[in-house]
C-alpha cells in the first residue's frame, strides 16, 4: 500500500450460501485513478463495488478506504461513508423531492452544510451536468439520462474522494447513454477518482487508466486499456471480448 492508494482491497472473500462471489480479490485504486471493471454477468462486479461502500458485508479480507479499514458490521446504511459517492443503475433518486432537493438534502443532513450553501452548490453542480433548468422538477418528469445526471450531481455534492458507478448506463435508452458517459468522461479528465462497473467498452478505452477484468469472482487480469484491449492475456478475457465486440 502506498500513500496515494485511496482504496485497498486485500484478499476479500464473499459467499452467498454455496456461491463464492468474490474469491481472494485484491485491488488498489490510487488517488485520481479511473478504474473500469468489466466482465461477464455474474462475475461479482456489482458485489465488489457494493462491498467497498458497505452495502454488502464481506466474509474475510480487508477493505481500506482513505486509510481507514472498513469494519464489517452488517449493512448499516446510516454508516455509509460520505467520502465514497455511489451512482447506481437505477438512479435511486427521492421520487417525492425536487431535483434541487435531491442534491441538497444529503449536504444538509449528512454534511451539516447550511441550506443556503447547499442550494448554491446544488445549482452549480446541476449546471455542470447540464440540467440547471430542471431544478424545480420531480425525478419522474425527467428522462432517464437526466435522472442519472441528477444522481451524479448528488454524488458530487457530498465532496466525495471517490465515486463508484455501478452500471450507470445499463437502464438507459441508447440515445441517452452518451450524454451520461460524456459527464463521466469529463469528471475523469478533471481528476476525479472513479471506479466504474460498465459494459461500455468505448468508455473503458477512452477514460480508464486501468481496466480490471473479472470472471467467476476473481480478478483475472488488469492492465491499461491499450494493452488490455490490444492483447488480453487470459483466455477468459479473450473469449469475453470476442463475444461482446462482435455484437
Ligand atoms: N443478494 C444476493 N443473494 C444471493 N446471490 C446473489 C446476491 N447478489 C448477487 N448474487 C449472485 O452473486 C453473483 C455475482 O453477482 P454480481 O451482481 O456481483 O455480478 P455482476 O458481475 O455485477 O453481474 P452483472 O453484470 O450481471 O450485473 C451472481 O451469481 C448473483 O446471482
- Determine the distance separating the centroid of ligand 1 and the alpha carbon of 116, expressed in angstroms: 41
DSSP summary character for residue 78: G
242 phi and psi angles, rounded to 5 deg: -60, -40
Mean pLDDT by 10 residues, the chain (247 residues): 83 94 96 96 94 88 82 50 84 94 94 95 96 96 95 95 94 91 94 95 95 96 96 95 80
pLDDT of residue 80: 56
- Determine the distance separating the centroid of ligand 1 and the alpha carbon of 172, expressed in angstroms: 20
* Length of the chain counted residue by residue: 247
pLDDT of residue 77: 44
Determine if ligand 1 sits within 6 Å of the CB of residue 42: yes
- Determine the distance separating the centroid of ligand 1 and the alpha carbon of 194, expressed in angstroms: 21
Determine if ligand 1 sits within 6 Å of the CB of residue 41: yes
Determine if ligand 1 sits within 6 Å of the CB of residue 21: yes
Cβ distance 82 to 110 under 8 Å? Answer: yes
* Rounded CA separation 237/191 (Å): 28
Task: Print the SS3 string covering 152-217.
Answer: HHHHHHCCCCEEEEECCCCCCCHHHHHHHHHHHHHHHHCCCEEEEECCCHHHHHHHCCEEEEEECC
* Rounded CA separation 167/22 (Å): 18
Neighbours of 157 (CB within 10 A): 24
Q: State if pTM tops 0.90.
A: yes
ipTM for the whole complex: 0.94
To the nearest 10 degrees (0 to 180), the angle between helices 99-109 and 115-128 is 130
Determine if ligand 1 sits within 6 Å of the CB of residue 45: yes
Amino acid at each position: 500500500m502506498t500513500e496515494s492508494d485511496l482504496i485497498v482491497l486485500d484478499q476479500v472473500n464473499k459467499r452467498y450460501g454455496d456461491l463464492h462471489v468474490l474469491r481472494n480479490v485484491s485491488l488498489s485504486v490510487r488517488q485520481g485513478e479511473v478504474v473500469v471493471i468489466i466482465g461477464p454477468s455474474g462475475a461479482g462486479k456489482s458485489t465488489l463495488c457494493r462491498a467497498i461502500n458497505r452495502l454488502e458485508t464481506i466474509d474475510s479480507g480487508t477493505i481500506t478506504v482513505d486509510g481507514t479499514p472498513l469494519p464489517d458490521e452488517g449493512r448499516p446504511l446510516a454508516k455509509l461513508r460520505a467520502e465514497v459517492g455511489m451512482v447506481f443503475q437505477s438512479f435511486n433518486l427521492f421520487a417525492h423531492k425536487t431535483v434541487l432537493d435531491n442534491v441538497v438534502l444529503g449536504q444538509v443532513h449528512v454534511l451539516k452544510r447550511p441550506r443556503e450553501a447547499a442550494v448554491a452548490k446544488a445549482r452549480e453542480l446541476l449546471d455542470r451536468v447540464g440540467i440547471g433548468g430542471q431544478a424545480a422538477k420531480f425525478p419522474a418528469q425527467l428522462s432517464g439520462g437526466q435522472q442519472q445526471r441528477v444522481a451524479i450531481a448528488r454524488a458530487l455534492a457530498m465532496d466525495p474522494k471517490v465515486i463508484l458507478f455501478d452500471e450507470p448506463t445499463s437502464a438507459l435508452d441508447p440515445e441517452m447513454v452518451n450524454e451520461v458517459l460524456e459527464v463521466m468522461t469529463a469528471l475523469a479528465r478533471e481528476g476525479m477518482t472513479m471506479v466504474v462497473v460498465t459494459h461500455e467498452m468505448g468508455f473503458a478505452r477512452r477514460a480508464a487508466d486501468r481496466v480490471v477484468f473479472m470472471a467467476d469472482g476473481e480478478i483475472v487480469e488488469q492492465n491499461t486499456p491499450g494493452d488490455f484491449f490490444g492483447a488480453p492475456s487470459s483466455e477468459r478475457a479473450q473469449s469475453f471480448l470476442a463475444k461482446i465486440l462482435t455484437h
